[in-house]
Chains A and B, each alone.
Chain A
Amino acid sequence: MGRKAKFTEGVVVKKGPGRKSKKQKDPTFSKALIGNDNLDKKLSHRQRKRATKRLQKAQVKQEKQKLKKSETHVTQNGQDDSEELSSESDNEVVLKPSTVGFSDDNKQWLTPKHTSKKIELEEESDEEEEESCNSEQEIVEESEGEQESGESEEEADIADEDTEEEEEEEEEDVDIADEYAEEDEEPEEDNLKVENLNDLSGDDDSEEGDEFSGDSDDNKDDEDLLPIEKQSKKLRKQQEIEDKLAEEELQLNIANQEKFIFPAKDSENDIQSLQDVQQRMREIVTVLSDFKKLRDGKHSRSEYIDILKNDLCTYYSYNEFLMEKLMQLFPLSELLEFLESSEVQRPLTIRTNSLKTRRRDLAQVLINRGVNLDPIGKWSKVGLVVYSSQVPMGATPEYLAGHYIIQGASSMLPVMALAPQENERILDMSAAPGGKASHIAAIMKNTGVLFANDINKDRIKAVVGNFHRMGIVNSVITCMDGRKYPQNMKGFDRVLLDAPCTGTGVVAKDPSVKTSKDDVDIQRCYNLQRELLIAAIDCVNAKSTTGGYIVYSTCSILPEENEWVIDYALRKRNVKLVDTGLDFGTDGFVNYRHHRFHQTLKLTKRFYPHTHNMDGFFVAKLKKFSDVIPKSASIENEAEDETEEVPANNTMSMEVSDEENEVEENEVEENEVEKPKKKLKVNGNDSGTHGNEKKQSKNKEMEKTKNKKQNKKKRLVEITDKKSHNKNKKENTGKLSKRENSSTKSKKKNKQTNEFDGNNKQSTAEKIKRIKKKIDNSLETSTSSNIQNNKQRLKKHTPKKKKLEENNSKIATSSSSVNWSDVPVEAATKLGKKLKKKNKKTVGQLKLHKKDKNKNKFQKQKINNR
């Protein structure tokens, strides 16, 4: 572009505001401001037509007026009416002098659009006055008009409008909606006549009646009122109508939009598109947010929630089971957030390998490679967040040289919680792919020993690769089942257990979790986790000067895999929860649904994708305070029960309770072991009080309990031994089996003792009698049925035998056929508990029965022989 010649050189013209500032447009004025002349041009064809119509009408009015005048004139002057009338009908030229607003030539028809109504109304009101004067004439006219038109769409709200307007409305045959839209304008009359003729209907009379009544009222009122008042009255009416309609419309809208219509059962399949599902989800969530107000009254909250669950399942493609779990875990609003953020990938984070480089240097190098990154946060000195990168982060020379590792932000937390120290011996029980383990090594600065274990041979290769790449030299990489680790090595200072889990916190990483998990998977998971955690605790040396800590973490958010597992470990081992040292994250659950976990579980930390922008995670830090493995909780409870009941003050009650205890405890072995057991006790007494039968029964009873306690202790030891072998078994079945074991063992012992105290038969008989008496005395306190049981049992202690099968069946019936009406209220609760226990134990009973039948027969034979 060449430079253009300046023709206006020398003439300096101001350039204005500059090219960037917007030039203001010419001002525009509203029609009202512009004035009437402009309006003239703008009148449309229809408007003009209407104007002419109006003009004609006005002329008709004029004529009427004239008629009236003439009438008065006639009365005064005696002129001929007929002449006048005929002349009126023909006369269309004379205009009605308007009383309103306009003074120029156009005043008859020229009304600005927005003001037309007002003016019209005024005109009409004027006319009304006139009409009231010549009502006769009106009626004639009207009847004619109605015959013509016979409007069917006459509305009650219109009925009280002027006769004049009615006339016009009668003539028009448009929808009411149109009517309101065009109310400002004059009604159309083009093609109405024909239709009106067709429309002739039978409601003429009623309409007439309405009109007349309305008219009369109006006329009466209107006569008293000033024109402006009338006008305002009319406006008010109009307003009311509009309000009413608006209200209706609003209600209609509410019904459409907000009120959620509960879908019929068979219409489940109607909804196809995801948008529909989303819409419905939103609606249900709003309903549930204010359930009291918005519910439909017929359906319960659970029904709403069921539908919501289904919708969420379809929308986010979860399976129903997992969605239910999540719904139990989160409140609704949070649930949606969680689901949403579970769809989105977390930002890529890397961890600097402090063995090889510093974070600042690494960041500089990576920035030079075109990576956009930032420190991860205050809480970590080695983490970096990568926002965008021109090179693949997993293949830069720095990565290959081991300067950093790609690791989720959440994966750094358990290591920080573990807080490894230099020169410690640390175990990472499930290490693959070695991110956390290498973090530990880096914190230890390659001192001490780091054991990295994983059960999976293929995944352990990643650990090897990462460790060598990162330059970790203090590591021992093993591949074995973590549950067996304590058998190989114990005495670690710290153990990190990043347990295998369902991965519900990392749905974004692996969406297959959404559909692939069900109840059994979770059950399997937490069983494995419990075993691993117990093994991890067993690996730790409680006496370690620096450590003795276990950190348990999962990438799951389900409490079954987290709090519950920790709670289990708290009960099973001498560990306590300590603060994780992480200053963010939400506290773990202490109460979750029906679970009441240990109070200290609030020291654990949970991380969610929607609140912390990292993967869902759980971290708990445990400190082991004793290497002693406590007795299993269930047995402990039993022992506690016993000790609680025994030290009662009253000797009688003590005895009774003792008896009851026996009943409870030995129910399993009762049939088979009863006799030897009793004998054992007696034997113990006799040996202790040899020849001193006059000693008080109280002492004997005490000794009995002592003996029993000893037995119990033995049993406990046995059980704890057993336990380590039977770890894999479930708790309940475990209990039963333990009981079986213990019972069989005690039996054996009893057998042995039996052989020695064959001589003491008579004394046993006496003993039994005594006990019987006592029990009879204490009948009031214990329930009738129970005592019957006891009696039966005691009877059976006499050397005469009865068949075991009979006994069995009796007890079965006695346990099941307790007549509740007979039992006193106080005892009823007691009995109920016992019955429960009995029922439980019958399971074991049967098993035992089969097992030890032969043994018992043998025993009986022995007894018989003696």
Chain B
Amino acid sequence: MKRLSEERTKILFEKLAKFIGPNIKLLIERPDGLYCFREQKDRVYYVSEKILKWANNIPSDHLISVGTCFGKFTKSNKFRLHVTALNYLAPYAQSKIWLKPPAEQQFLYGNHVSKTGLGRISENTEKYQGVVVYSMSDLPLGFGAAARSTAECKHAEPLSTVCFHQADIGEYIRSEEDLL
């Protein structure tokens, strides 16, 4: 468990900002104690400092996970969000899209969202902004990047993609092995 380097912190926060914008502040300054980002084996964990204190007693080769895993740094030093971060992205998300029930299934199998499946979209979503995908019953299903802005979506063809798939909760059973 080590602190993130300045560079990596920047990369991470840039990524998060795409989804939750200024709400990152809420992640760090919480009323229920200090929370921090820690890195182990290129994975980034978001965890309370209290828990971190205890976790430091465990030898690192025995430590599998602490708190919530947000994602990992790739070999090219880019940050990749995992679906496990959804717990924190969903409540603070800036822009959201809602899927029609038939499209839910499609999305959970790892497909992009087409215009036909789009139920709702939050206003003034910019192009390539990070969006959290919900079902119509407000169940967070995953997240992705908006392929079109809200305005463009209105005029898009029915089969054109409106949201690129990044992660979905189907991964919990699709790829449990390499979740971290």
Which residues of A line the B interface, CB within 8 A?
Answer: 365, 394-395, 397-398, 400-402, 425, 449, 451, 460-465, 467-469, 471, 473-480, 488-489
Contact = CB atoms under 8 A, between A and B. Distances in A.
Contacts of B139: 397-398, 401
Nearest to B68: A473
Contacts of B64: 460, 463-464, 477-479
B63 A400 contact: no
A464 B67 CA distance: 10
B104 A397 contact: yes
5 contacts: A397-B104, A469-B172, A471-B87, A474-B48, A476-B55
Contacts of A488: 57-59, 62
Contacts of B151: none
B141 interface: yes
A467 B179 contact: no
Contacts of B47: 473
Contacts of B55: 476
Contacts of A468: 68-69, 83-84, 87, 172, 179
Interface string B64-108: 111111000000000000011001000000000000000010001
Contacts of A489: 54, 57-58
B69 to A, nearest CB: 7
A851 B177 CA distance: 53
* Most interface-central of A394, A462, A469, A480 (chain B CB within 10 A): A469
B21 interface: no
A480 B62 contact: yes
Nearest to A490: B57
A489 B57 CA distance: 7
A475 B67 contact: yes
A468 B141 CA distance: 14
A293 B137 CA distance: 70
A476 B179 contact: no
B179 A464 contact: yes
Nearest to B69: A468
B65 A464 contact: yes
For the complex of A and B, 10 pairs with smallest distance between CB atoms: A468-B84, A400-B169, A477-B65, A480-B62, A477-B64, A465-B176, A476-B55, A469-B172, A471-B87, A489-B57
B54 A464 contact: no
A489 B62 CA distance: 13
B56 to A, nearest CB: 10
Interface of B: 47-48, 50-51, 54-55, 57-59, 62-69, 83-84, 87, 104, 108, 135, 137, 139-141, 169-170, 172-173, 176-177, 179-180
Given A397-B169, A478-B62, 14 more contacts: A365-B137, A395-B173, A400-B172, A401-B139, A464-B69, A464-B179, A468-B68, A473-B67, A476-B55, A476-B65, A477-B66, A478-B58, A479-B63, A479-B64
Contacts of B59: 480, 488
A463 B172 CA distance: 11
A397 B63 contact: no
A475 B54 CA distance: 10
B108 A400 contact: yes
Contacts of B66: 475-477
A449 B50 contact: yes
Contacts of B48: 473-474
Given A461-B177, A464-B179, A488-B57, A397 B65 contact: no
A4 to B, nearest CB: 51
Nearest to B173: A395
Contact of B63 (A402, A473, A474, A478): A478
Contacts of A398: 139
A474 B84 CA distance: 14
A484 to B, nearest CB: 9
B169 A469 contact: yes
A474 B65 contact: no
B25 to A, nearest CB: 19
Contacts of A479: 62-64
Nearest to A458: B177
A465 B51 contact: no
Nearest to B63: A478
B19 to A, nearest CB: 17
A274 B47 CA distance: 60
Given A461-B179, A468-B179, A476 B172 contact: no
Given A400-B108, A400-B172, A478-B63, A465 B179 contact: yes
A425 B54 contact: yes
Given A401-B139, A474-B51, A465 B172 contact: yes
A449 B47 CA distance: 11
Contact of B173 (A365, A394, A467, A476): A394
A816 B51 CA distance: 64
Contacts of B177: 461
A519 B179 CA distance: 39
B172 A462 contact: no
A476 B51 contact: yes
Contacts of B141: 397, 400-401
A395 B135 CA distance: 15
A478 B65 CA distance: 7
B121 to A, nearest CB: 20
A305 to B, nearest CB: 47
Contacts of A461: 176-177, 179-180
Contacts of B69: 464, 468
Contacts of A449: 50-51, 54
A397 B135 contact: yes
